[in-house]
Structure 1
Amino acid sequence: MAAVMPIFYAGVAASGLPEGRGTSYWGFTQTTAAILIAMISPLLGAIADHSGEKKKYLRAFSLLGAVACFGMAFIGEGDWLLASVLVVAGMLGFGAGNTFYDALLNDVSSPAMRESVSARGFAMGYLGGGVLLAVNLGMILGYKQLGFADSTGASQVSFAMVGVWWIVFSLPLFRRVQEKRREAGGYADRLRAGMRRLGETMRGIKRYPELYKFMIAYWFFFDGINTIIVMATSYGTDIGLEQTDLITALLLTQVIGFPAAWLFGRMADRFGSKRMLFGALWTYVVIVVLGYYMTNALHFYALAVLVGLVQGGAQSTSRAIYSRLIPPGRTAEYNGFLSFTSRFFSFGGPLAFGLVGILTGSSRAALLAIALFFFIGIALLAIVNLEKGWREAETGY
C-alpha cells in the first residue's frame, strides 16, 4: 500500500485517464475504504462481543483481504475501477479485521503481559511485512533477470503473493488461539444485540472517564502518526528525493521496526507504558522538527531510523493501554468504537498539512504544523490516570 500500489495504480490502472485524474481517483478510493471501515467496525465489534465470535469475523475479513490481493493480479492498463474496488475490499479486510485481532489481545494475555505481548505482535508484523516487501521490490526492480516481460507482470505476481502470505500466516491463529464462546441465537438476534450494545457503548462511555480521556488523546496523536505515514512519500518527493531513496527509507523503517518494537515492549514492562508512550510521542515531535530542515536522502534515512525506533512501540503500547481500560467482555465493541472515532477524526492531520501547504506555499511549514497534534495528544495523555482507569474498567466506577 505504501511502496507498490500507489505507483502501480497511477502508472498502470489509471493509464489513459486525463492528467491528475488518477491521483484524484486514488484519493477517493482511500476515502471510501476509510468510511466503510469506520461505519461497520463498531457494530461488528458489538456483535462479536455478544456472540464470542471474534475469530469468526477475523477469519472472514482476512479471507476478503486475501481474495482482493489475488484479484489484483488481474489488473491491467486502464482498469482503474477494478483496482479501486479491490483496494477498497483489501483495506476493508485489513482495517475491519484488525478490530477483532486487537480485541483478541485480552483473550491471549493477562493484564500484566499486555505491553510485551502487544509489542511482540507489532515486531513480528514489521518482520513479516519487511521480508515480503523486500522480496516483492526485488522482483519488480529486477524483473528482467527473473524472466518477467515487464515490471507490471512482476507487480501482479507480488499482489498474489501478498494474498498467499496473508492466509498462510493467519492459519496458526485460526487453529490455535482460543476465545470464550457464548450462546448468541440467530443472526437477527445478534444484529439486534449488537445494535443495543453499540448504543450502550456510546451512551455509557463517560462512565469510564480515564478511558474517555485516553481516547481523545489517542485521536490527536494517532492523527499525527498517521499523517507522517501517509504524507512521508509525498513530502520526500516534494523536496526532490528519488523513488529509490523513498523505497530504501521505507525498508529501513521496517528493518529497524522489528527489534525496536520488541525492545519497546520490554522497556514498557520495566519503566511503565505511559512513560514509554510519552517518550515515543516526544520523539515524533523531534522527527517533525528535523524533517523541516531535511535537505537530502541521508537526512531522510536518519528520520526513517527514528520512525522505526518508535512507530511500532507507540502503536503497540497504545493498544495495550487501551485494552486495560476497556470493560471486560466488551473488547471488540470498544476496539470497533475506537476504530470508528479515530478514523473519523483522522482527516485532521492531512487536512492541516494541505491547508498550511497551500497558505504558505511550503510543504516544510505544512510538516511543522503536524507537531501541534502531538503537543495536544501529549497534554491530554498527561491527565490520564491509568491506575484509576483500570479500576473503572473492573468495577464501572
Structure 2
Amino acid sequence: MSVVGDEEAVGNAPDRRREQRGWVFYDWANSVFPTSVITVFGALYLTAVAAEAAIADTATNGPNPCPEDADGSANKLVNCQIDAFGWHFQAGSLWGYLLAVATVIQVLIVPLMGAIADRTQNKKRMLAIFAFGGAGATALMSLVSGTDWQLGVVLFVLGNIGFGTSVVIYYSFIPDIATADERDALSTRGWAFGYLGSGCALLLQLAIYLAHDSLGLTEGNAAQIAFLMSGLWWAGFTLIPLRRLRNHQRPHGAEHGTGVLGGGFRELASTIKLARAYPLTLAFLGTYLIYTDGISTVANVSAQYGSEELHFSDTVLIGTILIVQFVAFFGGVLHGVVARRLGAKRTIMCSLVVWVVVITFAYFVQAGQAIQFYLLAVGIGLVLGGTNALSRSLFSQMVPQGKEAQYFSIYEIGERATSWMGPALFAFMAGATGSYRPAIISLVIFFFVGLVLMFFVPVRRAIQAVGNPEPAVL
C-alpha cells in the first residue's frame, strides 16, 4: 500500500493534525492515575486506613488482630490483621494483594472491551465511558476515611479498569489519525506530554502534602485532596481529545444491547485464532514484554533502592520522583527526534543500550551521595518514556487493520501478566546476597536480552505481513 493511500485512509493533513493535537492530551489526562494514585498516594493511604480498621476491630473481634511483638510494641502495618471474605492478612499486605487482584480483573475485562471497541467502532464513546468512569472512581476515593478500606478497594479496582480499558482504546486511535511516517513523533509527543502532565499534578499534590500542617490538614486529608485532584484532572483534560477525535472505521457488526457482548466474544475469539498468522508481530510483542518488564521494575524499585541501600531521606526520594517526571518529558521528545533520523527500531535499540549504562551506574552510586542519585534519576528519565513510546508506535505498524484495540489490549495485558519477573528477580537477588546492589544490576539481563532479540526481529517484514504501509525509515 502506498503512502498516498495511507494518507487517504487517515484523512487529510489539517484533519490529522487537529486530531493528533487532541489525542496527545489523553496521555496528559490519564497519567495522574499511575503516578499519583498508584505510585505515591494509594499505597500509603489505603494501607493506613486498613490498619486503623484492624485496630478498631480489637475491641469487638477477638482474638486481638494486633498482637504485640516480643518487646511489647505492635507495628500496626505488620501485626494488625484485617479480614476479607473470611481471609485474614496483614494490613501492610493490602496494597500488594489489591494490585494483584486489580490486574487479574483487568486481564479478564480489557481484551473483551477491546474486541467490542473494534467490532462496534464506537471508540470515542467507549473512551468517554471508561475515562470518565475511572476518573469518577478516583475522585470518589477522596471520600474514603476512618476504617472504610473496603470502599477504597472497590473504587481503586473501578479506577484501574477505567484506566486500563481507556488506554487500550486510546492507543488504537494511532493508526486512524497518523500515517506510517507520523506515528513515532505522535507517540513520543503523547508520552512526553503524559510525564509533563503527571509531573505538574504531582508537584502540586506533593506541595499540599508536605505543607499539610501549615494548611491545617492531616496527612490523610492531603492524600484525599490528591485523589480528588487526580480524578478532576483526568476527567477535565479528557474533554480535549473527546472534542477532537472522531470514529474512522465502519462497524464490523450490527449488534445492539446484549448482542454487543456476544459479538465482542466472537470478535475476540476470531482475533486470537488468527493471531498465529502474524508470528512476526507476536515476536516483537514477546521482545517488548521482556524489556518493558525491566523498565517497570526499575521504576518500581528505585525508591526502595534509594531508601534501603543508599539511605536517602524521603525528601531526596520525592525530589528524584519529580526529576524523573520532568526529565522524561524531554526524553520523550528526544526519542521522537532521533527516531525521525534512525527509525523506531534502531532508536529503541540505542535506548536499551542507555538502559544498560544507567543500571550499571546505579550499582556504583554511593550511599548518601544525593547528587549521584539525582544524576541517576536524570538518566532514567531520559529513556523511561521514550522507549515505551516508540514501542507503542512501532507495534501499531504491525497490527491488522480493524483489530487495533484487541491487539493493544493483548499488548497491555501481556505487559501486566509478565510484570512479576523483574520484581521476583530483584527480590531473589536481594535475599540471596543480602544487598540491593546485586539485585539492581541483575535487571540488566532484561535490557540485554531485549536488545539482542530486537536486533533479530524483522520489523519491515512484520509490517508487510499485515498489509500496512511501511514508514520511510525503520
Report the TM-score when normalising by structure 1. 0.95
Task: Name the residue aligned to 1:293.
Answer: 364
Cα deviation digits, residues 299-336 of structure 1 (max 9, x gap): 22111101111111101100000000001111001001
Determine the C-alpha separation between the residues in 2 that align with 1:329 and 1:220.
27
Determine the C-alpha separation between the residues in 1 that align with 2:221 and 2:436.
35
Task: Name the residue aligned to 1:376.
Answer: 449
Which amino acid letter does the alignment assign opposite residue 250 of structure 2?
Answer: R
After TM superposition, give the deviation of residue 395 of structure 1 in Å.
Answer: 7.0
Determine the C-alpha separation between the residues in 2 that align with 1:28 and 1:348.
17
Give yes or no for contact 1:260–1:308 (8 Å, CA) kept in 2.
yes
Task: Name the residue aligned to 2:246.
Answer: 178
Q: Tell me, what secondary structure is at the counterpart of 2:395?
A: helix
Determine the C-alpha separation between the residues in 1 that align with 2:345 and 2:267.
29
Matches within 5 A, 1:93-242: 93-145=162-214, 147-183=215-251, 184-239=254-309, 240-242=311-313
Per residue, is there more helix in 1 or in 2? 1
Matches within 5 A, 1:78-97: 78-97=147-166
1:49 lines up with 2:118 in the alignment: yes
After TM superposition, give the deviation of residue 76 of structure 1 in Å.
Answer: 1.8
Task: Name the residue aligned to 2:77.
Answer: 19
Q: Tell me, what secondary structure is at the counterpart of 1:267?
A: helix
Give yes or no for contact 2:255–2:263 (8 Å, CA) kept in 1.
no
Task: Name the residue aligned to 1:63.
Answer: 132
Percent of aligned pairs sharing the same letter: 32
Moved more, 219-228 or 234-243: 234-243
Give yes or no for contact 1:280–1:311 (8 Å, CA) kept in 2.
no
Give yes or no for contact 1:26–1:84 (8 Å, CA) kept in 2.
no
Task: Name the residue aligned to 1:256.
Answer: 327
Q: Tell me, what secondary structure is at the counterpart of 2:213?
A: coil
1:318 corresponds, among 391, 410, 418, to 391
Which amino acid letter does the alignment assign opposite residue 360 of structure 2?
Answer: V
Determine the C-alpha separation between the residues in 2 that align with 1:128 and 1:317.
19
After TM superposition, give the deviation of residue 175 of structure 1 in Å.
Answer: 1.7
Higher CA-based Rg: 2
Determine the C-alpha separation between the residues in 2 that align with 1:157 and 1:129.
15
Determine the C-alpha separation between the residues in 1 that align with 2:374 and 2:180.
36
Determine the C-alpha separation between the residues in 2 that align with 1:48 and 1:169.
22
1:246 lines up with 2:320 in the alignment: no
Q: Tell me, what secondary structure is at the counterpart of 1:73?
A: helix
Give yes or no for contact 2:137–2:156 (8 Å, CA) kept in 1.
yes
After TM superposition, give the deviation of residue 263 of structure 1 in Å.
Answer: 2.2
Q: Tell me, what secondary structure is at the counterpart of 1:231?
A: helix
Determine the C-alpha separation between the residues in 1 that align with 2:417 and 2:217.
43
Task: Name the residue aligned to 1:278.
Answer: 349
Aligned CA-pair RMSD: 1.8
Q: Which one has more relative contact order, counting CA pairs under 8 Å at least 6 apart?
A: 1
Determine the C-alpha separation between the residues in 1 that align with 2:203 and 2:93.
28
Moved more, 111-120 or 193-202: 193-202
Q: Tell me, what secondary structure is at the counterpart of 1:46?
A: helix
Moved more, 380-389 or 186-195: 186-195
Give yes or no for contact 2:398–2:468 (8 Å, CA) kept in 1.
no
Give yes or no for contact 2:137–2:159 (8 Å, CA) kept in 1.
yes
After TM superposition, give the deviation of residue 49 of structure 1 in Å.
Answer: 0.5
Q: How many residues align?
A: 395
Cα deviation digits, residues 336-387 of structure 1 (max 9, x gap): 1122222111111111111222222222222222111112211111111111
Give yes or no for contact 2:53–2:148 (8 Å, CA) kept in 1.
no
1:265 lines up with 2:265 in the alignment: no
Determine the C-alpha separation between the residues in 2 that align with 1:200 and 1:101.
22
Determine the C-alpha separation between the residues in 2 that align with 1:355 and 1:82.
34
Cα deviation digits, residues 25-49 of structure 1 (max 9, x gap): 1100111111111221211111110
Q: Which runs of 5+ in 1 are unaligned?
A: none
Determine the C-alpha separation between the residues in 1 that align with 2:451 and 2:419.
17
Give yes or no for contact 2:331–2:381 (8 Å, CA) kept in 1.
yes
1:39 corresponds, among 101, 108, 115, to 108
After TM superposition, give the deviation of residue 9 of structure 1 in Å.
Answer: 2.9
Cα deviation digits, residues 206-246 of structure 1 (max 9, x gap): 22122111011011011111111122122222121111111
Report the CA distance shift for 1:190/1:68 in structure 2 as closer, same or farther (over 3 A): same
